[in-house]
């Protein structure tokens, strides 16, 4: 066993005690063997984000069309979006409950956006903050620069903060994220109480690339007919989430396409799902959902026809 891995496991000692050695070992093994893999791992046959030449090809194409400068400037603008979610099963005391949803920071590839984001979020009013993964820029390698880049953003967020990991993240990032104030959920459930009423917030590990998300395990602790929310980095698990009885699922991962045709039509979503679930609010059966376009960018700090966002979700009875 390498010294880095031994030290990594030592840092994860508390997490191992909480979620079990089996999950941590599986995640670490998958990272060692597959994290930079181009073909065969995850829900897609080909993993564009792991292609070394992809950023250079995209940059060349944007410069060739004269759109590179615009795309760079667009990537630094982060909008505050608001989403109203109505549900008859929401307890009365949670009427008006608000969640700040932040996703896909990609710290080291989104320095411009990170520079503005702390100022944008600092004065927002909400009850809890949820983070839906992808704190690292690349899908592999070191993550220290990413953690350094997102630290001011994390410091601007109000407690409590709940988070999940994405396909860009190593489980070894967990101690640092929790030291910044986030409770990282690994197929776990938290109870949120107001007076005598409760709702349940569950979070699963990455189900896109590492495929270690377990919705059944997360849902096991949730009583029937209780309002429940699922945090999943990818929205690709929407069918199972609805089948398990979740009322709301919050996700990211797709970036809304990041580089889109006019009117926000995505060229590629890097996810196996209907395009209507690729960004913004949607419904599947009884379950409401929301896919954030993310605050940061993957591969390159560029965006076209697809603004970056953080989202304030407000729950209402009815």
- The pLDDT tens digits of the residues spanning 248-298 come to 999 999 999 999 999 999 999 999 999 999 999 999 999 999 999 999 999
Per-residue confidence at 185, pLDDT binned at 50, 70, 90?
A: very high
Q: Which of 268, 195, 203, 261 is CA-nearest to residue 231?
A: 203
Q: Average pLDDT in the 161-176 region?
A: 97
The burial of 306, by beta-carbon neighbours within 10 Å (0-12 exposed, 13-18 middle, 19 or more buried), is given as buried
Q: What percent of the chain has a predicted confidence (pLDDT) above 90?
A: 85
Asked if residues 168 and 146 have their Cβ atoms less than 8 Å apart, the reply is: no
Would you give the distance in Å from CA 198 to the centre of its chain?
24
Instruction: Choose among 316, 239, 221: nearest CA to 277.
Output: 239
- In Å, what is the CA distance from 308 to each residue of 114, 219, 255, 288? 11, 31, 8, 21
- pLDDT for position 1: 41
Instruction: Tell me the per-residue pLDDT of 220-256, one tens digit each, with 9 for 90 and over.
Output: 999 999 999 999 999 999 999 999 999 999 999 999 9
Q: Does residue 29 surpass a pLDDT of 50?
A: yes
Q: Would you place residue 3 in the very low, low, confident or very high pLDDT band (cuts 50, 70, 90)?
A: very low
- pLDDT, residue 39, reads 84
Tokens for 204, please give them: 């699963």
Q: Which of 3-7, 301-305, 307-311 comes out lowest in average pLDDT?
A: 3-7
Question: What does pTM read for this prediction?
Answer: 0.94
- In this model, does residue 77 exceed pLDDT 50? yes
pLDDT at 201 over 60: yes
Q: Give dist(CA 32, CA 245) in Å, integer.
A: 34
Q: Say which DSSP state 272 is in.
A: S
Going from the C-alpha of 53 to that of each of 149, 209, 239, the distances in angstroms are 24, 20, 34
Q: Kindly report each contact of residues 12-17 with a partner whose C-beta sits within 8 Å and lies 24 or more positions away, as own/partner.
A: 12/171, 12/172, 12/174, 12/175, 14/175, 15/171, 15/174, 15/175, 15/186
| Torsion angle in degrees (nearest 10) through CA of 269, 270, 276, 280 | -70
pLDDT score at 41: 85
Tens digits of residue pLDDT in 94-119: 999 999 999 999 999 999 999 999 99
Nearest-angstrom CA–CA distance, 97 and 87 = 12
Query: In sequence order, what are the residues at sequence separation of 6 or more whose Cβ sits closer than 8 angstroms to the Cβ of residue 34?
Result: 41, 209, 210
Residue 257 near residue 71 (C-beta atoms within 8 A): no
Query: 96 or 10, which is more confident?
Result: 96
């Amino acid at each position: 066993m390498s010294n880095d891995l031994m030290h990594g496991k030592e840092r994860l000692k508390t997490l191992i005690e909480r979620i079990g050695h089996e999950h941590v070992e599986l995640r670490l093994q998958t990272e060692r063997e597959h994290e930079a893999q181009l073909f065969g791992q995850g829900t897609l046959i080909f993993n564009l984000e792991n292609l070394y030449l992809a950023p250079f090809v995209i940059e060349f194409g944007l410069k060739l069309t004269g759109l590179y400068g615009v795309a760079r400037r667009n990537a630094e603008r982060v909008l505050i979006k608001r989403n109203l979610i109505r549900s008859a099963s929401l307890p009365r005391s949670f009427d008006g409950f608000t969640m700040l949803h932040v996703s896909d920071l990609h710290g080291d590839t989104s320095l411009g956006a990170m520079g503005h984001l702390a100022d944008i979020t600092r004065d927002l009013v909400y009850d809890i903050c949820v983070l839906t993964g992808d704190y690292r820029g690349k899908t592999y390698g070191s993550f220290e620069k990413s953690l350094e880049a997102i630290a001011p953003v994390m410091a601007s967020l109000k407690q409590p903060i709940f988070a999940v990991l994405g396909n860009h993240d190593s489980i070894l990032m967990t101690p640092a994220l929790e030291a910044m104030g986030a409770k990282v959920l690994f197929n776990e459930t938290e109870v949120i109480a107001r007076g005598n009423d409760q709702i349940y917030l569950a979070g699963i590990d990455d189900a896109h690339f590492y495929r270690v998300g377990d919705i059944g395990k997360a849902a096991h602790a949730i009583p029937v007919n209780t309002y429940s929310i699922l945090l999943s980095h990818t929205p690709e698990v929407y069918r199972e989430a609805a089948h398990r009885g979740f009322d709301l699922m919050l996700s990211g991962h797709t970036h809304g396409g990041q580089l889109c045709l006019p009117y926000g039509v995505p060229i590629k979503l890097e996810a196996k799902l209907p395009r209507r679930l690729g960004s913004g609010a949607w419904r599947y059966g009884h379950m409401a959902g929301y896919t954030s376009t993310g605050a940061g960018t993957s591969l390159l700090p560029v965006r076209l026809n697809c603004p970056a966002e953080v989202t304030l979700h407000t729950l209402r009875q009815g």
